[in-house]
Structures are given as structure tokens and as C-alpha cells.
A and B are shown apart, each in its own frame.
Chain A
Amino acid sequence: MNHLIEAFEVLLDPDAWSGPGGFGARMIEHLWYTALALLISAAIALPVGLIVGHTGRWRALAVISSGMVRALPTLGVITLAALFVGIGLTAPMISFVVLAVPSILAGAYAGVESVSPATKDAAKAQGMSGWQVLLRVEIPLGLPLIIGGLRNATLQVVATATLAAYVGAGGLGRQLFLGLRTQDYPLMLAASIAVILLAIILDALFELSQRLLRRRMGLV
């Protein structure tokens, strides 16, 4: 219990937040890594997921391969990647993308598939092309699930981004590993709490956007 109190004391100390190695700078790095990983993952997984959902082709392949990728241990992926590309941000970024792609992919195809066949048929009967059905019907109606996939991925990446510090990059993992290695458990706990706070804030933002979206779409 004492460690927890001391951890909050660390977090409430302004000195711990300032400077290039402080909690403030590390938190921004952490958020930046998360955002970058999500951007790259979305650029890969969204188009693929939407096409899979729209055409219904390669669905089994998408399901199986993303399931398999999910089983990869992130630390192993980072270490393996770093042996090839060296230390720095590249190796953790690869592993974060590997971590985030399955959730986004699943959200995308499940979102498109969730639109009722009757609605799709009606859109086609009105003379819409395949692209128009996807862009004007399937994506807007599937948006809650698509965003749900992004939300899952965000949560996973923000919680895992501490591992960037394992191979020489920054983020809140720096404080976490320093605490771990020097048996400074309050510091380690403080870094964990900071990560948890980031995760909660990001998740709340997604929750809010999903609610607004549902309200706007008249689903509530």
C-alpha cells in the first residue's frame, strides 16, 4: 500500500514532470507512438477490412491470419525485429502495428457485414454502384463497429507502448524500466498509473465519439 501512496507522491511532484526525461515529455512520446502505430495500422487494415467485408472474398483468410497474428507475443516480435533493423523506434513500431492490425481489420469487415442485406439490395436497386454502396451505405452504417475496432486497437497499443523503451526508444516505458531495474517500485507504479490514465482518457474519447455518432445516426 505504501508503494501506491509513494507512487502518487511521485506523480504529484512537479519536478518529475518537467525536463526532457520527465513524465510530461514521456507521456507525449507515448501518445505519439500510439498515434503513429494506429495511423499505420489503419492505413493497412481499414482498406483490406472494408474490401473483405464488401466483397465477402478472402474472409476466411482474413479471420485466420489475424487470429494467428494476435497470438504473437509483442516482446518477442520487438526483440526479433530489433535484431534485424537495430534499436530505435522501428522495431517497436512494427510490433505495435502487428498488434493493432487484427482488431482494426476485424472491426472493418464486421462493420460492413453488419449492414442488413435488405438495405444493401435497396441501395443497389436504386442504381448505386459497388463503390457507392460501400461509401454511402456500408461504411456509414458500419461505422460504430469500425470505430470499435480502432478503439480496441488503441487500448492495446497504448498499454503496450511501454515496450518501446526496451530497445532504446522513449515513452513511459523509460520510467517503468528504470523503476523495475533499480527496485524503485513507486516510480514503476507511477509510470503504470500514467499509462492507465492515458488508456482511460483515450477510451473515454472513443466512447464519447461512438455515442455522438449513434445519436447523429438516430440509432439511440
Chain B
Amino acid sequence: MKRISAATAGLALLTLSACGGGDPLETDDNGEDASPAGENGALVVGSQQYYSNTIIAEIYAQVLEQEGYEIQREYEIGQREVYIPELEAGAIDVFPEYTGNLLDYFDPDNESGEADAVHADLGEALPEGLQALDYAEATDQDSYVVTEEFAQEHDLSTVADLAEVDEDLSIAANAEFETRPYGIEGLAETYGVELDLVPVEDSGGPLTLGALLDGEVEVANIYSADPAIEDNDLIILEDTESLVLPQNVVPIVSESVDDAARDAINEVQAVLDQQELLDINSHSQSTQDSPADVAQWWLEDQGMLD
């Protein structure tokens, strides 16, 4: 009996170590490509499983290719829990991120507020070997949105103005809005705004938008880079107290990314303001083009591709 369990334990250990040692990205490469990139000079660009993020990644990739770098693309990697370890291990070299969420990932107890502070804190919170380049003006963050009509009727421009509205207000948002610091409780504590949560689980998608436009809710939580905001003349209420942690687009790079490559990416960062990001997302949604085509379209539009 003892022997069997020892053998089982040994086997389990073997399996475990096999899992731990194997790099899922590398095995992938070996399957498709005889020479695993990332090791002979190619820079690996990754992206989240989110169309807008993948387009930004593709923009970095195309800019770097133009500078003569060899690029390997590892897009749509899903959760932070999956790709951050890959970044730390050096399997990915460039990754578009969002300042606030990434800071929360490394330092959940941070008390940052403004975009600058969040970016600075992020620089300190990042593990050794990873650096945050310049942050773009463009954000993709939770925002409190109302219809233009409602905003005019009640003279709303900031979140605090909601406290003056003399009716029962409800907000359509994901379930987590119940407990997040920027959610129901945060709004009550910081702004004295009491909202009822109507949970709609499509992360500010068409159902949330529909609920707002139908008047089933007065406020909706829609991401600031969602083209639906412009398409439907929605008003983003200004978050004067920085309740929502700023989520500026920021590239995270490894040490294999040299200064010239960093400069090339930072040039993109310098022009990527909110309107540009909205244009990119809007173009992608209306044309349904591939991220590569959208990235190329935008870069040509900016005169950044030869």
C-alpha cells in the first residue's frame, strides 16, 4: 500500500514538474515554427481577448516592423492571470495594458487617483524586468453615462450632479458594480448619489445600451472607448473625485525591447488620444475588418506608415 502511494506521489510530481517546466507559448511555437521566435531576436507582441486591445497591439507590432524588428504575434490571451506570468518570464515582450487595472493587479491596496499618479505608481509596482512606457491620453474605463436628453433635463455634467436629481435613479451595470469601489457604495460615499443597480451582464454592451435608451435605467456603466457613446449622443458624466481608477492605455515592455523600439511605441502613445481610440473602435465595429487592417488604416491615416 505504501509503495503504491509513493509511486503515485512520484508520478504526480513528475507530471507537475512537466507542467511547470513547459511554457505553453513555446510548445505552440515548436508546433508551427521550426525556429522558436522570441529567442533569436524576434519581439513577441501579445494582447488581451478584447478587440480594441488587439488592434492597439497590432498598431505597436506594425510600427515595430516598420522599424525593422522581427515580430511574433500572440494575440487574444484572455485573462491577466494567464499573460502576466508570461510577460514576467520573458515569453512576451510588448503588451498593451490599462494603467489602473494593471496597478490593481500588482498592488490591490493602492490609493492612486489621477492618471499621472496611477502611471507613476504602476512603474514602481511592476516586477523587475518589466517597464511601463508612456501612457496615452486615451482611456478605456468604466464611466457613468446618461442620455443627452436626460442630461439636459436635469442639467447634468458631473457625477455629483446626480445627487440633485429628485427621482429614484437606477444604473445598468455588471453584477460586480454592487461591490466594486466605484460602484453603488462608492457613489453613495463619495458623491452622495443613491442608485439602484439593475445588473445586466454584457459589460456595457448592446443590452446595457438598450436599457439606457429605452429608459429602463437612467444611468449606465459603459466603457469610455465604446463607440456607442458617440453613436447615440450619450454624455459621460465627469468623475471629478476620480472614483474610477484611470485606465489609460499603456504598453508594458520587457528588457528585450531596446530604446529605439521604445521610442517607436511612444510615438504612437503620443497621438493616441480619446478621439483616436474611439475612431479606431468605431472603424473596427462598422467595417468588421481584421485588427491588422484596422491598425494599418489608422497608422496610414496618421501618416505613420511609409
- Whether A and B are associated in the same complex: the answer reads yes
Q: Using a CB–CB distance below 8 Å, which chain A residues touch chain B? A: 79, 82-83, 86-88, 165-168, 174, 177-178, 180-182
Task: Tell me if B207 and A83 are in contact (CB < 8 A).
Answer: yes
Give complex CA distance A184, B174 in Å. 14
Q: Tell me, rounded to whole Å, the shortest Cβ–Cβ distance linking A109 to chain B.
A: 36
Task: Tell me if A178 and B176 are in contact (CB < 8 A).
Answer: yes
Is B216 positioned at the interface, with any CB of A under 8 Å from its CB? yes
Q: Given A83-B207, A87-B216, A88-B216: A168 and B175 within 8 A (CB)?
A: no
Task: Tell me if B207 and A82 are in contact (CB < 8 A).
Answer: yes
Inter-chain residue pair count (beta carbon < 8 A): 54
**CB-contacts of B163-213 with A (<8 A):** 172, 174-176, 178-180, 198-202, 206-207, 210-211
Set A87, A180, A181: member contacting B210, Cβ < 8 A: A87
Q: What is the total number of residues of chain B having a CB less than 8 Å from a CB of chain A? A: 18
- A sample of 18 more A-B contacts (CB under 8 A), given A83-B207, A86-B216, A177-B199, is A79-B207, A83-B206, A83-B210, A86-B211, A87-B210, A88-B216, A165-B199, A166-B200, A166-B201, A167-B201, A168-B200, A174-B175, A177-B174, A177-B201, A178-B175, A181-B174, A182-B176, A182-B179
> Cβ of B200: which chain A residues have Cβ within 8 Å of it?
87, 166-168
Task: Tell me if B175 and A165 are in contact (CB < 8 A).
Answer: yes
* Nearest A residue (CB) for B178: A178
Q: Tell me, rounded to whole Å, the shortest Cβ–Cβ distance linking B269 to chain A.
A: 30
User: Chain B: interface secondary structure?
Assistant: mixed
Most buried by A among B175, B180, B206, B214: B175
> Cβ of A174: which chain B residues have Cβ within 8 Å of it?
175, 199
Set B174, B175, B198: member contacting A87, Cβ < 8 A: B198
Give complex CA distance A198, B206 in Å. 32
Sampled A-B contacts (17; CB under 8 Å)? A79-B202, A82-B210, A83-B206, A86-B210, A86-B216, A87-B172, A87-B207, A165-B201, A167-B200, A167-B201, A168-B172, A168-B198, A168-B200, A168-B211, A177-B199, A178-B175, A178-B179
Q: Tell me, rounded to whole Å, the shortest Cβ–Cβ distance linking B80 to chain A.
A: 11
Give complex CA distance A83, B211 in Å. 9
Give complex CA distance A180, B172 in Å. 17
Give complex CA distance A181, B180 in Å. 10
* Nearest A residue (CB) for B212: A87
Give complex CA distance A177, B200 in Å. 10
